[in-house]
Each structure stands twice: as C-alpha cells, then as structure tokens.
Amino acid sequence: MLLQGSRCGSRFLWHKVKFNSLNCPSKNGKKLTEALARTAATFSSTHDYVICGAGSAGCVLTNRLTADPNNDVLLLEAGPRDWTWKIHMPAALVYNLCDDKYNWYYHTVPQKHMDNRVMYCPRGRVWGGSSSLNAMVYIRGHALDYDRWESEGAKGWSYADCLPYFKKAQTHELGKDAQTDEEIDAFIRQYADTAYHPSCTCKMGDSDDNMAVVDNQGRVFGVENLRVIDSSIMPSIVSGNLNAPTIMIAEKMADCILGNQPLPRSNAPVYQTPEKGQR
C-alpha cells in the first residue's frame, strides 16, 4: 500500500467520508455529493490537491504528489482502513465480494445486449479501493494492448511509454535479468522449486522405450492385471495445472477398461506459432 499517514516535510490529510447507509446505485452519486459537501464545510483551509477515493489510483497519486514537500494534499475515502485479515489474506477475497463493509456492492442498470440482465459490479470501499479486494492479482497485459491505446488516440500511452511506469510502481526486486543460455541455466538450477504437482514418474509409452512403465492403456509392462491411472503416467509435463489433464486421463482410461470405442477425435483448430520465415 502507498497510503501513509504523513510525509516528512509535506502535508497530507486523510479524511473519512461517512455514510449512514449504503443506498442503491442510483442514489450513491447524490449521497456522495452531499457527503463531500459536508466534508468540505469541515475544513476552512485550502489544499493544492483534493483526491476523491483512496483506491488503486488515489493512493499512488497521494504518495507521488506528497513527495514534493510543498504540496498540500487532502485524500477523501468513504471506507474503513484495510486492517482486516479478510483483506490481508488473498484467498479470503470471497468474503469482501459478498460483504458491503468493504465493497460498494454496485449493480449495473439492465444491460440491453445481455437480455436486460442486471450485472453485479463490486468496487472497493476501503483503503486501497478495489486493489484490496482482488487477491493481489497484478498482470500488466500484453504490449499490444497499450500500442492499441495509442492507435486509438491516447498519444504517449504506447507500451514503450507505459512500461517505465509499470516498473516505477514495482517494489519487488527480482534481481539481475538472465539473458544468455548459461545464465538462464544457472538461474533455474539455483532458484527452481516445486509447485506441488508431481507427474511423469510412470511414463506411458511403447514397450521398447526403456523409460516407459505403462502402455497407452495404463497397463504396467511385465505385470498382469495392474494399471496405473493418474498424473504419473504423463509422458511429459503439460503446460497447465494438472487437475484437468488427470481427470481427462481417467475419463479416457475408463473407456479403455470398459472396452468402449474412443470418442471421435476433435477437429478443433489449434493455433501454432508460424515458422520464422513465415512471420
């Protein structure tokens, strides 16, 4: 969190905008206006900057603006402080998505192109805003996303322009980049760890493969009436989580055991990276 109580040499005042109750979305705007008016009347002094909302953007703005000791910043936030375990434990995000204590609990108006359904739209009502509700997910997106921004009129917002600011916001230092094959190999040997998904210890393959333990129907070579059917029979590690492939293996092996015909092969297209000469 970039929200802090004060900065040495600069003046930063945090004020909580109080709400008696959480009204329906159509009234929130009016209620917020009234609350801000009451808040403004509380202070006789003026400020260089007034930031409405201590959310993902508001906290960063407050931190950066108060880096200048001459700036006087007022930060307004309607929600409570982010001191609960429900926020500090990423896996507890479901509590906050279903609780209006830290969540504005917004709903959209009926959506014309969604069969007029009303869609739930949770937004953070707490220090940190929605960044306190999203289980610490932090993904930049693809470089072309930001290049598209610029092509759509946001000049100066290409990926090359945005990347330095992504890095500026990051405080988790990963260390020196590994570039050469030797550096990458050394990095893997030093830092690689398990993700608790063991597999490939009873390889499925041909009978003339010295490393194979079972055939393509899970039958153990050299042992009658014994099959292995789990993630250990994978010939090589897949690129996804092992749960779905293991379930698929059991489904396919069940047909083998029951003597059923395999399901028809899929004709679904699969994207493949073009060869260098075809790019």
Judge whether residue 233 has pLDDT over 90. yes
pLDDT tens across 260-275, in order? 999 999 999 988 888 7
pLDDT tens across 44-92, in order? 578 999 999 999 999 999 999 999 999 999 999 999 999 999 999 998 9
- CB contact set of 37 (below 8 Å; sequence gap of 6+): none
User: What φ, ψ does residue 106 adopt, rounded to 5°?
Assistant: -70, 155
Averaged over 236-250, what is the pLDDT? 93
How far apart are the C-alpha atoms of 211 and 219, rounded to whole Å?
14
Half-sphere exposure of 253 (CA within 13 A, CB side): 21
What is the pTM assigned to this prediction? 0.64
Nearest Cα to 12, choosing from 69, 56, 73?
Answer: 73
Residue 35 is predicted with a pLDDT of 54
Judge whether residue 29 has pLDDT over 70. no
Judge whether residue 149 has pLDDT over 70. yes
Residue 113 is predicted with a pLDDT of 95
Half-sphere exposure of 113 (CA within 13 A, CB side): 0
Residue 279 is predicted with a pLDDT of 52
Residue 43 is predicted with a pLDDT of 58
Averaged over 100-108, what is the pLDDT? 92
* Single-letter amino acid code for the residue at 169: A
Whose structure tokens read 């202070």?
43
pLDDT range class, residue 25, cuts 50, 70, 90 = very low
pLDDT range class, residue 193, cuts 50, 70, 90 = confident
